[in-house]
């Protein structure tokens, strides 16, 4: 076992004579090194590559259903080639349209933006940036990836079964998701969805507990909590959110499994379907359950989930911005406390998804209060990012481009949250395209941009000191950035006109039918952005094997610890002693020193001559 020569858990930071060397990997074969690896860096790669592959599938699904929405009267022979019976004559079957919508949501939220983003960067950066040789439990960490893998395999299988994958929306509200007679996707597809989600919860818990334990216990000497990079603070609170909320999703799934297979009625009551009264196998009438209970359980995870997705992106962006503007993150403490505030408030707002579910309206007004209060820490973060740029010295690396794009998207999408969080306005906007525009910009696009920023920035640490091609990255950025706005901004207008989401076709309604031009525009933009992602994917896989080699240890001029490891760090990260930390990671442009790595002591600093440059005032 790879763990035998590491025993990371027992090491302390002042372990001087640690015999960790790059060469220890001789003992590992291909299988233990790259497949069932317990090295956090390899596990990060596994999360990332799996996440990227799922992203291709998830985004491709959105292109398929955008074809239907953009050109409802056309037929696309390629759809029949790809999907067979689900698109006879080149036209999507409504049932499969809803399956695509459901799978798009599930895949993007859980597999790409939770596992792919938080899984990748928490694994990569927590040990590297706090100065640890690996996670608290490398074995649990390995299990976390493999449970995610199993969840993915189950979901993938569900795409190929005869009745089709789950089609009740990514929220899987019962009774639709509980009754196989209500929709063909609620048959085996839904069973597999529930199984997959359960595996995913396990994966997320194994990862999250590990992240929390590692951050609290394994920081190197001198790395106090207030010297942690903001990335680590973000991963910490992300893990706390996940650990406290994912189990609730599991309970929701388990009760739904009972309702589906064991004749219980947690969520079901008084149902007449397919010409019969719903009874259990003993012939008793199913009554007394509440579909709203499921919504409460689901959104108790579902809302924190959006912060699980966005917080890591916020951390990455804060760190990348400071590094490339060569300026300290403005208001480090305020940034930490605002993440904390978002975490706490994030638990108290779930029912704003349910204003019109039939829940007591008074409860709705309480949730309004907490929902709009989240605007306060969010505003603090935005203004702090902007002030970080003010009087900076900005080098537009690809990661920096995506970070600036992130802030723009976060502002645009966040502001419409103030509209939707108001229940009086939500009556009109609820379940319309306004909501689609809001959450795609603020959560999906912004988190995606955070993920891209992270990949471009830490690619050399992920893949053996190789760099991605920057020119491709700039092109990728601009098409994606402008394209994202072109896709999602017009959806606000559809929402303003009241056009409901999850409509296979708008032609049945006069009020929704007048926007053919807008829908074509959105679909074209979606297709362009989809293909533009291949600029990234080709660059990504090409650079893994043949990218330009990193020449300096610290290519972006960062202060944090991960760049003090060798260009190709072995399992254990540092050769010899783990470096000691003397300062916070954002001493940029202080006292005539453009960068001052965390490992530089005051005494070391005296020996380094200040640069001859004009300090901006």
Partner 1 sequence: MYSLIGILAVALLILILFQLAKAGEYLGLLKGEKEANDRNNQVQATLFLGTLVFGMIGIFWSAWYYSDAFLFLRTPASEHGGAVKNMYFWTLGAILPIFVLTHALLFGFAYIYKKDDSKLSFYYPENNKLELIWMAVPAVVMVFLVLEGMRNWLKIMGPVPEDRTVLVIEATAQQFKWDLRFSGLDGKLGGKSVQLMDPENGNPWGQDWDDKANYDDFFAKDSIVLPVNVPVLVKINSLDVLHSFYLPDFQVKMDAVPGIPTQFWFTPIKTTEQRRVELNQPDYNYELACAELCGKAHFNMRRELFIVEQDQYEDWVKRQEPLYKTLKASASLEEEVEESDETIAAEY
Shortest separation between residue 239's beta carbon and partner 1, angstroms: 26
- Asked if residue 126 lies in contact with residue 62, where contact means CB atoms within 8 angstroms, the answer is no
C-beta of residue 163 within 8 angstroms of C-beta of residue 187: yes
Which CB atom, from 406 or from 574, has the smaller least distance to partner 1? 406
Residue 591 exposure: Cα atoms within 13 Å on the Cβ side: 8
Q: Is 544 in the site for partner 1 (CB under 8 A)?
A: no
CB 204 → partner 1: shortest distance, Å? 25
Nearer to partner 1, 251 or 395 (CB): 395
**Torsion (CA) 597, 599, 604, 610 in degrees, nearest 10:** 0
| Options 56, 157, 161, 373; binder of partner 1; rule CB under 8 A | 373
**Does position 275 bind partner 1 by CB under 8 A?**
yes
Cα 308 to chain center, whole Å? 7
485 binds partner 1 (CB under 8 A): yes
Contact between 308 and 241 under an 8 Å Cβ cutoff? The reply is yes
Query: Do 234 and 316 form a contact (C-beta atoms < 8 A)?
Result: yes
Per the omega criterion (within 30 degrees of 0), is the bond before 325 cis? no
Q: Is 277 in the site for partner 1 (CB under 8 A)?
A: yes
Q: Nearer to partner 1 by C-beta: 34 or 534?
A: 534
Could you tell me whether strands 588-590 and 593-595 are parallel, antiparallel, or unpaired per DSSP bridges? antiparallel
**Binding to partner 1 by residue 80, rule CB under 8 A?**
no
Yes or no: say if 292 and 357 are a contact pair by the CB < 8 Å rule.
yes
Under 8 Å CB-to-CB from 568, ≥6 apart: which residues?
A: 22, 464, 465
Q: Binding segment for partner 1 among 29-37, 39-47, 138-146, 494-502 (CB under 8 A)?
A: 494-502
Is 376 a residue that touches partner 1 (CB under 8 A)?
yes
State which of positions 123-152 bind partner 1 (CB under 8 A).
none
Least Å distance between CB 130 and partner 1?
21
Closest contact distance (angstroms) between CB of 547 and partner 1 is 10
- Please name which of 70, 60, 58, 72 lies closest in space to residue 102, comparing C-alpha atoms: 58
Q: Which stretch binds partner 1 (CB under 8 A): 1-9, 52-60, 379-387, 438-446?
A: 379-387
Indicate the residue among 213 and 292 with the shorter CB distance to partner 1. Answer: 292
Binding of partner 1 at residue 611 (CB under 8 A)?
yes
Options 12-20, 54-62, 228-236, 496-504: segment touching partner 1 (CB under 8 A): 496-504
Task: Write down the least CB distance from residue 500 to partner 1, Å.
Answer: 5
Applying CB under 8 A, which of residues 30, 31, 160, 362 lies at the interface with partner 1?
Answer: 362
The four Cα atoms 42, 47, 52, 57 give a dihedral, to 10 degrees, of 140
Backbone angles phi, psi at 463, to 5 degrees: -125, 70
> What's the CA gap between 233 and 219, in Å, rounded?
13
Q: How far apart are CA 202 and CA 210, in angstroms?
A: 12
**Rounded CA gap, 6 and 19, in Å?**
9
> Measured from the CB of residue 615, what is the shortest distance to partner 1 in angstroms?
5
Q: Is 383 in the site for partner 1 (CB under 8 A)?
A: yes
> What is the distance between the alpha carbons of residues 371 and 382, in angstroms, rounded to a whole number?
17
Among the listed ranges 226-234, 344-352, 363-371, 458-466, the one in contact with partner 1 (CB under 8 A) is 363-371
Rg (CA), the chain: 25
In 438-478, the DSSP E strands lie at: 466-467
Nearest distance from residue 2's CB to partner 1, in Å? 37
Return the residues of window 502-541 that contact partner 1 according to CB under 8 A.
502-506, 508-512, 514-515, 518, 531, 534-535, 538-539
Residue count, binding to partner 1 (CB under 8 A): 141
b (16+ CB within 10 A) / e for 151-163: bbebbeebbeeeb
What lies within 8 Å, CB to CB, of 395 at 6+ separation is: 324, 325, 326
Pick from 259, 250, 298, 296: which is nearest to 281 by CA?
259
Stretch that binds partner 1, among 33-41, 145-153, 401-409, 600-608 (CB under 8 A): 401-409
Query: By CB under 8 A, which span of 18-26, 166-174, 228-236, 564-572 interacts with partner 1?
Result: 166-174
Q: What's the min distance (Å) between Cβ of 216 and partner 1?
A: 25
Could you say which DSSP state residue 594 is in? E
> Residues with Cβ < 8 Å from 599, sequence gap 6 or more?
561, 564, 579, 580, 581, 582
Q: Which is nearer to partner 1, 9 or 331 (CB)?
A: 331
Return the H-helix or E-strand segment holding 173.
none
User: According to CB under 8 A, which one of 304, 454, 490, 572 is a site residue for partner 1?
Assistant: 490
Under rule CB under 8 A, residue 489 binds partner 1: yes
The Cα-based distances of 286 to 151, 181, 259 in angstroms read 31, 15, 10
Q: Which of 159, 213, 292, 348 binds partner 1 (CB under 8 A)?
A: 292
Single out the segment in contact with partner 1 by CB under 8 A; choices: 5-13, 21-29, 473-481, 552-560: 473-481
Helix (H, G, I), strand (E, B) or coil at 108: helix
- Binding part of the chain for partner 1, among 19-27, 31-39, 144-152, 271-279 by CB under 8 A, reads 271-279
Whichever of 277 and 553 has its CB closer to partner 1, that residue is 277
273 binds partner 1 (CB under 8 A): yes
Site for partner 1 in 6-65 (CB under 8 A): none
605 forms part of the interface with partner 1 (CB under 8 A): no
Kindly report the CA angle at 420 between 416 and 422, in degrees rounded to 5?
Answer: 120
Q: What's the min distance (Å) between Cβ of 387 and partner 1?
A: 7
Query: Which x/- pattern over 405-444 shows residues binding partner 1 (rule: CB under 8 A)?
Result: --xx--xx--xx-xx--xxxx-xx-xxx------------
Q: Is 285 in the site for partner 1 (CB under 8 A)?
A: yes
Contact window for partner 1 (CB under 8 A) among 131-139, 171-179, 254-262, 564-572: 171-179
Task: Identify which of 301, 299, 306, 427 has the alpha carbon closest to the alpha carbon of residue 353.
Answer: 299
Candidates 35, 471, 552, 608; binder of partner 1 (CB under 8 A) is 471
The count of C-alpha atoms lying within 13 angstroms of the C-alpha of 512, restricted to the half-sphere facing its C-beta, is 17
Of 320-359, binders to partner 1 (CB under 8 A) are: 325-334, 356-358
């Amino acid at each position: 076992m790879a763990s035998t020569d590491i025993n990371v858990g027992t090491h302390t930071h002042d372990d001087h004579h640690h015999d960790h060397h790059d060469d220890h990997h001789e003992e590992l074969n291909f299988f233990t090194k790259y497949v069932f690896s317990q090295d956090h860096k390899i596990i990060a790669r596994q999360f990332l590559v799996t996440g990227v592959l799922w992203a291709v599938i998830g985004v491709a699904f959105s292109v398929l259903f955008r074809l239907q929405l953009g050109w409802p009267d056309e037929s696309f022979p390629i759809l029949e080639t790809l999907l067979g019976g689900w698109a006879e004559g080149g036209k999507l079957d409504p049932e499969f349209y809803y399956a695509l919508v459901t799978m798009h949501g599930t895949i993007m939220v859980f597999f790409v933006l939770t596992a792919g983003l938080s899984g990748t960067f928490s694994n990569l950066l927590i040990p590297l940036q706090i100065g640890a040789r690996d996670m608290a439990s490398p074995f649990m960490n390995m299990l976390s990836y493999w449970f995610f893998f199993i969840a993915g395999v189950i979901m993938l299988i569900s795409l190929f079964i005869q009745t089709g994958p789950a089609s009740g929306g990514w929220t899987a509200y019962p009774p639709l998701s509980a009754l196989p007679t209500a929709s063909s996707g609620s048959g085996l597809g839904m069973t597999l969805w529930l199984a997959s989600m359960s595996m995913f919860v396990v994966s997320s818990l194994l990862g999250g507990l590990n992240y929390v334990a590692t951050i609290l216990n394994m920081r190197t000497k001198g790395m106090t909590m207030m010297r942690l990079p903001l990335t680590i603070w973000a991963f910490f609170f992300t893990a706390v959110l996940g650990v406290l909320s994912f189990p609730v999703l599991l309970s929701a799934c388990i009760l739904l499994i009972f309702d589906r297979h064991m004749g219980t009625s947690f969520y079901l009551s008084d149902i007449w379907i397919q010409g019969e009264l719903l009874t259990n196998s003993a012939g008793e009438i199913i009554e007394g359950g509440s579909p709203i209970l499921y919504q409460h359980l689901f959104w108790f995870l579902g809302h924190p989930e959006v912060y699980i997705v966005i917080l890591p992106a916020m951390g990455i962006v804060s760190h990348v911005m400071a590094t490339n503007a060569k300026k300290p993150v403005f208001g480090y403490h305020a940034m930490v406390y605002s993440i904390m505030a978002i975490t706490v408030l994030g638990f108290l707002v779930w029912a704003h998804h349910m204003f019109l579910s039939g829940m007591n309206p008074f409860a709705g007004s309480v949730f309004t209060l907490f929902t709009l209060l989240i605007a306060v820490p969010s505003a603090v973060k935005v203004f702090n990012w902007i002030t970080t740029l003010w009087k900076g010295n900005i080098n537009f690396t690809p990661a920096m481009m995506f970070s600036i794009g992130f802030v723009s998207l976060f502002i645009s999408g966040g502001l419409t949250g103030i509209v939707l969080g108001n229940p009086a306005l939500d009556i009109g906007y609820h379940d319309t395209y306004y909501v689609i525009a809001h959450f795609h910009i603020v959560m999906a696009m912004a988190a995606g941009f955070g993920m891209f920023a992270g990949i471009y920035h830490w690619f050399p640490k992920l893949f053996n000191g190789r760099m991605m091609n920057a020119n491709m990255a700039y092109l990728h950025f601009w098409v994606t950035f402008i394209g994202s706005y072109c896709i999602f901004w017009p959806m606000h207008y559809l929402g303003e006109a009241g056009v409901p989401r999850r409509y296979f076709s708008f032609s049945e309604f006069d009020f929704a039918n007048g926007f053919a031009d807008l829908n074509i525009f959105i679909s074209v933009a979606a297709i362009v952005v989809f293909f533009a992602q291949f600029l990234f994917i080709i660059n990504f896989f090409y650079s893994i094997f043949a990218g330009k080699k990193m020449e300096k240890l610290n290519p972006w001029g960062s202060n944090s610890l991960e760049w003090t490891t060798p260009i190709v760090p072995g399992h254990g990260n540092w050769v010899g002693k783990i470096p000691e930390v003397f300062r916070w990671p954002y001493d940029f442009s202080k006292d005539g020193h453009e960068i001052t790595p965390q490992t530089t002591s005051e005494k070391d600093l005296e020996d380094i001559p200040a640069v001859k440059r004009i300090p901006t005032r």
